[in-house]
């Protein structure tokens, strides 16, 4: 059984059909990349999987670990191991990163009936993950994403992922806005998370990140549909021909 099984997913936003029948199956241990032009529905898909309720599912089914993901609230999905690294991470003034993240860790622990983690145990663990992403420790006492540069926000998302150890991680354009050094650091962080019992879905426009995080599968999303799937070479082909080229080919198939 796949970790994630999306069947004929249709999604509307404000009466506008954005996803028009997505089928996708992701197994534990795999890395999938979703590519596609602006506005094709990549973030919509990512957020529906993280259970954003403003997106209305009009048809289809999503099974995650065999359970009905679409019946879950965002916090349930999170506690079940779904993680979304946001394309636009939200600033939350007044709440420190450390406090926020420890609350998140403890919410999961509580969900699983485990004992909560106190600050003494949490801080060293958190610091270790920050170190992996080469993030200054001082960030932990700063408000969540407040005043962070674009790159710092993205890196902070990956730190959160590393701390929360999800089963299914969806990274929505985590590479955009990163300089080459930051990109390598983020890629290192993501690769460190690759494991046989975890799946990673990388939404990106560029081959750049995929040079470091080599995907097992690449899917092309155009206008709410996956028009083509293939191996890592598909990303290179896209870089070469553009979406239009690949799409045309798909239509011919």
Partner 1 sequence: MSLTTTTPELQSYLESFTRFEKSAPGQEQGWLRTLRQEGFARFSELGFPTTHEEDWRFTNISPISRTTFQLADGSAKVKARDLDPFRIPGAASQLVFVNGHYTPELSSLGKLPKGVRVCSLAEAIEHARSLEGLLGRYASFDRDAFIALNTAFLADGGHVYIPRGVVVEAPICLLYVSTGNSAPAMAHPRNLVVAEAHSQVTVVEDYVSIDSGVIFSNIVTELYAGPDTVVAHYMIEREDTQALNVSTLRIQQERNANVESHSLLLGGALVRNNVHPVLAGEGGECLINGLFIGKGRQHMDNYMLVEHAQPHCNSRQFYNGILDEQAHGVFHGRIIVHKDAQKTDAKQTNRNLLLSDEAQIDTKPQLEIYADDVKCTHGATIGQVEENALFYLRSRGLDEIAARRLLLYAFASECLERMRTGPVRTYLEALTTSWLPEGMALVQAAGAEVQRNWEELG
Ligand X SMILES: Nc1ncnc2c1ncn2[C@@H]1O[C@H](COP(=O)(O)OP(=O)(O)OP(=O)(O)O)[C@@H](O)[C@H]1O
Residues that bind ligand X (CB under 6 A): 13-14, 16, 18, 36, 38-44, 87
Work out how close the CB of 165 gets to partner 1 at its nearest, in angstroms, rounded to a whole number: 12
Longest distance between any two alpha carbons in the chain, whole Å: 60
- 3-class secondary structure, 91: coil
What is the torsion angle, in degrees rounded to the nearest 10, for the CA atoms of residue 187, residue 190, residue 196 and residue 201? -100
DSSP-derived letter for residue 89 is P
Q: Which is nearer to ligand X, 35 or 140 (CB)?
A: 35
Token digits of residue 32: 């999938």
Residue 174 found at the interface with Mg ion (CB under 5 A): no
Nearest to 41 by CA among 179, 222, 199: 222
79 binds, among ligand X, Mg ion, partner 1, none (CB under 5 to 8 A by kind): partner 1
Other CB atoms closer than 10 Å to residue 131's CB: what's the count? 12
Per CB under 5 A, contacts with Mg ion among 66-95 are: 87
Per CB under 5 A, contacts with Mg ion among 177-206 are: none
123 binds, among Mg ion, partner 1, ligand X, none (CB under 5 to 8 A by kind): partner 1
204 binds, among partner 1, ligand X, Mg ion, none (CB under 5 to 8 A by kind): none
Please, are residues 31 and 20 in contact by the beta-carbon 8 Å criterion?
no
- For residue 22, the Cα-to-chain-centroid distance in whole angstroms is 17
**Footprint on this chain of partner 1 (rule: CB under 8 A):** 47, 50-54, 73-75, 77-79, 83-84, 86, 89-90, 92-96, 98-101, 103-105, 107-108, 111, 119-120, 123-124, 137, 140-141, 143, 160, 164
Q: Which is nearer to partner 1, 32 or 102 (CB)?
A: 102
Please, are residues 203 and 42 in contact by the beta-carbon 8 Å criterion?
yes
Q: Which is nearer to partner 1, 64 or 83 (CB)?
A: 83
DSSP-derived letter for residue 149 is -
137 binds, among Mg ion, partner 1, ligand X, none (CB under 5 to 8 A by kind): partner 1
- For residue 209, the Cα-to-chain-centroid distance in whole angstroms is 14
Residues that bind Mg ion (CB under 5 A): 42-43, 87
């Amino acid at each position: 059984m796949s970790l994630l099984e999306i069947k004929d997913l249709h999604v509307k936003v404000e009466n506008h059909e954005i996803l028009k029948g997505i089928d996708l199956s992701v197994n534990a241990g795999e890395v999938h990349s979703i590519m596609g032009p602006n506005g094709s529905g990549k973030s919509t898909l990512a957020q529906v999987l993280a259970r954003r309720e403003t997106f209305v599912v009009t048809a289809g089914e999503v099974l995650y670990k065999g359970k009905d993901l679409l019946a879950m609230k965002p916090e349930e999905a999170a506690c079940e191991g779904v993680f979304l690294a946001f394309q636009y991470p939200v600033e939350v003034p007044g709440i420190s990163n450390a406090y926020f993240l420890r609350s998140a860790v403890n919410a999961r622990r509580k969900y699983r009936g485990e004992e909560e983690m106190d600050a003494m145990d949490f801080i060293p663990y958190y610091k270790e993950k920050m170190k992996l992403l080469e993030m200054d420790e001082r960030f932990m006492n700063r408000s969540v994403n407040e005043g962070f540069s674009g790159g710092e926000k993205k890196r902070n998302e990956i730190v959160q992922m590393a701390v929360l150890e999800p089963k299914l991680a969806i990274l929505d354009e985590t590479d955009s806005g990163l300089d080459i050094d930051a990109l390598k650091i983020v890629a290192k962080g993501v690769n460190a998370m690759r494991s046989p019992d975890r799946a990673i879905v990388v939404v990106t426009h560029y081959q750049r990140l995929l040079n470091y995080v080599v995907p097992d599968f690449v899917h092309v999303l155009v206008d709410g549909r996956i028009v083509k799937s293939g191996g890592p070479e598909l990303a290179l082909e896209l870089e070469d021909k553009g979406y239009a080229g690949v799409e045309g080919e798909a239509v011919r198939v």
